[in-house]
Amino acid sequence: MTFHGQKILPAIRSMKDFDKMLDTPFTYGVFLDLHIGMLKSVFEYARRHKKNMFLHVDLIQGLSHDEAATEYLCQEIKPYGLISTKGGVITKARQKGVFATQRAFVIDSSALERSIKLIEKTDPHYIELLPGVIPKIIAEVKEKTGKTIFAGGLIDNPDEVEQAIEAGASAITTSNTKLWKHFI
């Protein structure tokens, strides 16, 4: 299974990376590490190039990652989707009709249990699991939640991408441009 035909969701850390993404057939991607002053122009540019971009709310410089910021982003920036570790952000994004992705860092069994409870509470459209190199956890979260899973973090080669997909991930979020090229 893939996310709208993509195994890779390019994660963009700079405008140079975004320019690289624009030269690919990928339609979906993720903006990381953006400054608040760039948001409107970057999303207008993405829309002109028919790119559906998720925005990682927790990594926007100069903007809090709370419900008020989420409301502003949904109304003024209009991203395809928002990604956050914060339950309030996910709930508000869903209320505003924006695709919500709950990011979960699963570092031990306790973190896994807390993440599952948060996912049950916020009911996101998607889940991003980090680190993404643990197929067993991808399969477990997929089974327990029934949600579309993105795997991210520490995935370095095509075999790890395929293992995550086989375990139940629909796509891999990565800033590794070599992996982007491999899966075009």
- What share of the chain in percent tops pLDDT 70? 100
pLDDT of residue 105: 97
pLDDT value, residue 1: 76
Chain segment 103-142, per-residue pLDDT in tens: 999 999 999 999 999 999 999 999 999 999 999 999 999 9
Which residues on neighbouring strands pair with residue 35, listed in sequence order? 61
What confidence score (pLDDT) does residue 159 get?
A: 98
The CATH number given to 8-182 is 3.20.20.70
pLDDT tens digits for 72-95? 999 999 999 999 999 999 999 999
